[in-house]
Structure 1
Amino acid sequence: MVIAKLFHVQIIKHEWLKARAEENWDREIPFGAIRGEIQDRNGQLIVGNRLAPTLYFMPSQNKEPEKAAAMLAGILQVDQQKLLEKMTKKSYMNKLAPEGKNITQEQAMEIAKLQIDGLYTGVDFVRNYPYGELLSRLIGFTGFDGTGLAGIEYAYDEILQGTGDKIRLYTDAKAIPLPHVDDGFQTGENGATLELTIDIEMQKVMERELIQAMEKYDATQAIGIIMNPKTGEILSLVSMPTFHPAEYQETDQAIYNRNLPVWMTFEPGSTFKIVTLAAGLEEKLIDLHHDYFNDPGYTMVANARLRCWKREGHGHQSFLEVVENSCNPGFIEIGRRLGGEKLDKYIRDFGFGESTGSGIAGEAKGILFSKDRFGPVEQATTAFGQGISVTPIQQVQAVAAAINGGYLYRPYIVKEIKNDKGETLKTFEPEMKRRVISEETSAQVREALESVVANGSGRNAFNDGLRVGGKTGTAQKVVNGNYADGDYIVSFMGFAPADDPELLVYVAVDSPKNSIQFGGVIAAPIVGRIIEEIAPIAGIEKREGQIEKEYRWGDAMTHRVPDLTGMTKGMVARQLHTYRIVWHGEGDVIKYQMPVPDSVMQADDIIHVYTEDEE
């Protein structure tokens, strides 16, 4: 019977009993989980991981903890007594945090040379940000335990989180190592990598421009979005001011908890007029070129006098000029022709009053008038973007539909999820919600908005050859239920190229100072510079057929640059050009020139020509 029992225990039940024993003997030293990376659409690293070892101490394995604490305190530059208290705490294994958590590799190597009994180094990782503060209010940050607490890190925490490796030490009840059992290693799993739709180069341009705008205009905050209107992919998302994700504890919660493009709601102002315009054109209630409206500077609606931003009015004008001039009474007339029910339907069809479903944490829905409170005055003010509350991401989604042929796409920020081997786990594709207007209407909207930039309120966004279209916005801020005197949010919605839009850029500056507070003065030139710089990144080339910018008093005189290539000095002299020409090189024939032929130059600019000898 004894022999049978020994056979049963040592042979049949051996593995089961050994596993149960090891569970009682093992002491785990964790290796920090490798959290998944966050990359841009081209695989550029936005958030990675940096090795940061953490110290663990077994009191039962060291008879001189005071001596050990003294040696460690000098290397870690921490209080020796506090460190000793953690090392002598009654436990089988003590984590020396925060004093010994996330130490440098140099410190870890120096400590390893001391050969301190009972001291173990666990491998840990912290987030690494190669671009510093860039994109911080979108990506968010992680806590001391590696858990996502805000932004993308929070929204996709389960996907990014890894399980981590572990070293298993086997000891007796007094934490003395067991000589007959080998230490083990338990392998974990790395977190998945998120590839965003963001283009990091476009993000750099947008953030730089908004930082400069904040400083120049002493603004409270600024917002920027770049989207591909054909797909809904968000190429850049900016909230200013920003912060460093590794130092979030030193930042105001109102900054890191609020991603302004999706969280902030405010009256859109004149950028909302694009929706009213699209609805009026779709219903064939206006004709841009052959329908006219007279603006005396105000219009009466239910005994309420609603004024145009231009006090004396714009007078007799076509509806194309109504759009160019951003004439409030003209848009009130479009809203009147539509009627309250149809106007409300188009506003909701364009995505207002509900979340866009972008997947970005903290997105708001905005506020529209309820149907029972949508009277004549509310209908009139809504037509020109006043009295309602929307988010920037809703405005971008709606305008994208107005210019892309009428297709309302869901904005999205994550392009792909991959495992640590680079294998695709999930791909996100463009998602069309519905069609809101026809291609014919969309073409008319594009034409009108290109004319706004060439001849109207958005002229400061004009870029020769890029065919920029857009709309200004100037919204008075509401504080405690009343409009704040002299406090505005100025914005501009621009896109390019107007004949086939590939980039949609929105910029809003909150409470600017040191300037006239109009979107066309402050926000339009910012968008113009952004589009000019990111167009090559998007592969957009200059094209024919643009609406030429109309000269107005006060504008710099401009000319098209003549083509001088192939000419000699004598030939150029006979042309009797009044331009200032600077010659470079010892040759007789012009090889190339700057600026290039047919581009726009100011009258007092210089043409640089570079010569070579004739062969």
Structure 2
Amino acid sequence: MQKSPSRKNRQRQRPKARQKFFSSFFSKFIAQTSNVNSRLFIVWAVLVTAAFGLAVNLYNLQIIRGPKLTQRARNQQMVNLRLFVPRRPVVDRNRDMLAMDRPVYTMYVHPKLFDKSNQEIAKLLAPIMGKDATELETKFESKKSGILLSSALPEEVADRIYSLRLNGIELTQKYSRFYPRQDLVAEVVGYVNVDRRGQAGVEYSQEKLLERSLKTVRLSRAGNGALMSDHAPEGFLHSDDLQLQLTIDSRLQRAARNALQEQMDKYRAQRGAVIVMDAWDGSLLSLVSLPTYNPNQYSKANVSLFKNWTVADLYEPGSTFKPLNVAIALEAGAIKSEDTFNDPGSIKVADRTIRNAQNKSYGQINIAQILQHSSNIGMVQMIQRLQTPVYYSWLEKLGLGQSLNTDLPFVVASQLKSLEKFSASPVEAATTSFGQGFSLTPLQLVQLHGALANGGKLVTPHVVKGLIDSKGQIHYTPSYPTPRQLFSPVTSQKVVEMMETVVANGTGRASQIPGYRIGGKTGTAQKAGSSGGYISGAKITSFVAILPVETPRYVVLALVDEPKGANAYGGTVAAPIVKAVMEALITIEKIPPSQSIQ
């Protein structure tokens, strides 16, 4: 049997056990502490390395690549928005609309998306679009998608198609220039092409006034792409309501067109024109040229019609220039208003013999009678009293040989021979005395007669009144040259009163309006050929009027090119046109009678 340790031995063994325990404990503790420190060091090292990497990356992003990244972020957050800015409307003097932008639609169809048969869709669309159903069905069968049916569908038609709620119909809105008066003022307003650029009339010459400034704005957008209006620049959607107002009166324009068309049809004429000008300021109340075109369908028109021939073509004015020669002779002191001349019917000048129309002779006649009978012989004798250089300087003073200053496009310069050629033979001055041997535009002739009507001042013919807002307030008025004094008021009035005798007792009787004093002058001129000389049998008939004689203000000119018939003269063809236009003018302008109507 084994003996248990004694108490004394047990007491000796206890310190050794404690020592062993503490030794083992501290060994384990030290070992564990060493492991923790290693781990902490590793963690610290990783953190320091990561922080350093982040710092380097942050430096690279913020300092080195910062500006580029900022710009890239802005590009992603911002969008450039180019706003559609409509072209300004054009209105007449009464603010009636002549040209405007209106929404139209491009229409594509995609038959593969139809929820009905091609035949059914064709039958639904045909009456709305004004097309044949069979023709539409054939188009639908030509391909499965992307068939263009219309490039300019009116808004009201598009609305009706929308209301059908058909699948496979694609309508895209755009804006198109529209001319509600169609061909009424085409020769003045003109048209714009598919690129919205003016090609004729004031659409071309007044492009800067009609085009509003185009704006490109940068807007912020949200993460889903929605535009953030709170970041929009102030007033970026603001668009002015200005309109280009013309001096043209649509009512008078229509009356003039109807009167001109009637006479052109009656005499089978090639073309014609009517111009009405307020001589006090040069504003044109009507400017008609026929034939014309519909600016809504300009692609179907003859391109020659895009240039208004009243400013773009030259012609010899013939006898309508005689009153101006009378004014020159009076102003230069070569004649007096009471002078008389003998008209035997012909006169020899150098190697030429000049005769009156139809070889008529009038005997002893005064200056007013020279105009009444349109005596070429009397005019030649009158101008012969002027020295050639003096007469030529007066023609230059009138503006012959120069371009007319106006706001209409495609103006050509009038033609006058050089002083050397003009002085080479007395025949030049003689033929010029009755309106041949030089050429000008119809509008320039109106301008010159305006100087007789307004006391001798050369005003600028124009059609632009200015820019007005929706309330009719003027925001811009074009400036024109200060009128140049040509004749004295006394001379001008004397000539107008002489012209009155033409209407009362002479070749202009067809323009008489009871109760109104009207001055006028007929013209039946030979038509010059493009290669020189005159076209056999071709003539231009014209009549110019000034009213009212007691306080002259308005000038009315009518021209008819190549009328047919034995009785086609200025007094028979053009004078009735001017009468009809003046009657409309009297009503529109409320011109009071000159005397009591009997």
Instruction: Give the TM-score taking structure 1 as reference length.
Output: 0.76
Partner of 1:526: 577
Partner of 1:599: 597
Distance of aligned partners of 1:438 and 1:165 in 2 relative to their CA distance in 1, 3 Å threshold:
closer
Contact 1:31 1:123 in 2 (8 A): no
Partner of 1:381: 431
Match of 1:273 among 295, 314, 322: 322
Q: Quick check: 1:182 aligned with 2:226?
A: yes
Q: Kindly indicate which of the two structures has a greater share of residues assigned to helix.
A: 2
Structure 2 CA distance for aligned equivalents of residues 498 and 139 of structure 1: 32
Distance of aligned partners of 1:47 and 1:490 in 2 relative to their CA distance in 1, 3 Å threshold:
same
Distance of aligned partners of 1:434 and 1:532 in 2 relative to their CA distance in 1, 3 Å threshold:
same
Structure 1 CA distance for aligned equivalents of residues 181 and 152 of structure 2: 24
Q: Quick check: 1:296 aligned with 2:344?
A: yes
Identity %: 30
Deviation at 1:324, TM superposition (A): 1.4
Distance of aligned partners of 1:83 and 1:213 in 2 relative to their CA distance in 1, 3 Å threshold:
farther
Deviation digits for residues 235-293 of structure 1 (CA, Å, limit 9, x no counterpart): 110110122111111111112x220111121110001112110011112222233x221
Distance of aligned partners of 1:461 and 1:517 in 2 relative to their CA distance in 1, 3 Å threshold:
same
Contact 1:323 1:452 in 2 (8 A): yes
Structure 1 CA distance for aligned equivalents of residues 71 and 304 of structure 2: 55
Structure 2 CA distance for aligned equivalents of residues 266 and 477 of structure 1: 7
Contact 2:316 2:438 in 1 (8 A): yes
Matches within 5 A, 1:134-533: 134-162=184-212, 180-183=224-227, 187=237, 189=239, 192-255=242-305, 257-289=306-338, 291-374=339-422, 375-418=425-468, 424-428=474-478, 431-479=481-529, 480-533=531-584
Q: Quick check: 1:67 aligned with 2:113?
A: yes
Deviation at 1:376, TM superposition (A): 0.8
Q: Secondary structure at the match of 1:52?
A: strand
Deviation digits for residues 189-241 of structure 1 (CA, Å, limit 9, x no counterpart): 46852101111111111111111111111110001100001111111101101
Structure 1 CA distance for aligned equivalents of residues 452 and 71 of structure 2: 68
Q: Quick check: 1:47 aligned with 2:104?
A: no
Structure 2 CA distance for aligned equivalents of residues 372 and 97 of structure 1: 65
Partner of 1:603: none
Match of 2:177 among 121, 124, 127: 127
Distance of aligned partners of 1:372 and 1:164 in 2 relative to their CA distance in 1, 3 Å threshold:
closer
Instruction: Give the TM-score taking structure 2 as reference length.
Output: 0.78
More displaced 10-residue stretch of structure 1: 31-40 or 159-168:
159-168
Structure 1 CA distance for aligned equivalents of residues 218 and 111 of structure 2: 23
Which residue identity is paired with 2:588?
I
Q: Secondary structure at the match of 1:222?
A: strand
Structure 1 CA distance for aligned equivalents of residues 401 and 334 of structure 2: 25
Q: Give unmatched runs, 5+ long, in structure 2.
A: 1-54, 230-235
Which residue identity is paired with 2:417?
F
Deviation at 1:418, TM superposition (A): 3.4
Deviation at 1:319, TM superposition (A): 2.0
Distance of aligned partners of 1:111 and 1:499 in 2 relative to their CA distance in 1, 3 Å threshold:
same
Which residue identity is paired with 2:113?
K
Structure 2 CA distance for aligned equivalents of residues 82 and 34 of structure 1: 37
Structure 2 CA distance for aligned equivalents of residues 165 and 114 of structure 1: 36
Q: Quick check: 1:539 aligned with 2:537?
A: no
Distance of aligned partners of 1:330 and 1:71 in 2 relative to their CA distance in 1, 3 Å threshold:
farther
Contact 1:414 1:428 in 2 (8 A): yes
Contact 2:550 2:594 in 1 (8 A): no
Partner of 1:61: none
Structure 1 CA distance for aligned equivalents of residues 326 and 273 of structure 2: 24
Structure 2 CA distance for aligned equivalents of residues 329 and 497 of structure 1: 29
Deviation at 1:6, TM superposition (A): 8.3
Contact 1:161 1:190 in 2 (8 A): no
Distance of aligned partners of 1:163 and 1:108 in 2 relative to their CA distance in 1, 3 Å threshold:
farther
Q: Quick check: 1:21 aligned with 2:58?
A: no
Q: Secondary structure at the match of 1:180?
A: coil
Deviation at 1:294, TM superposition (A): 0.9
Distance of aligned partners of 1:83 and 1:313 in 2 relative to their CA distance in 1, 3 Å threshold:
farther
Deviation at 1:99, TM superposition (A): 3.8
Partner of 2:90: 38
Larger Rg: 2
Q: Give unmatched runs, 5+ long, in structure 1.
A: 58-63, 88-95, 172-177, 545-597, 601-615
Contact 2:526 2:540 in 1 (8 A): yes
Deviation at 1:509, TM superposition (A): 0.3
Which residue identity is paired with 1:335?
I
Deviation digits for residues 26-80 of structure 1 (CA, Å, limit 9, x no counterpart): 8x7x8754221111112121222332134699xxxxxx99427999985577634
Structure 1 CA distance for aligned equivalents of residues 537 and 589 of structure 2: 38
Q: Secondary structure at the match of 2:588?
A: coil
Contact 1:31 1:122 in 2 (8 A): no
Deviation digits for residues 491-533 of structure 1 (CA, Å, limit 9, x no counterpart): 0000110111121100000011135121112111221221122
Which residue identity is paired with 1:370?
S
Q: Secondary structure at the match of 1:243?
A: coil
Contact 1:69 1:83 in 2 (8 A): no
CA RMSD of aligned residues (A): 3.6
Instruction: State the aligned residue count.
Output: 520
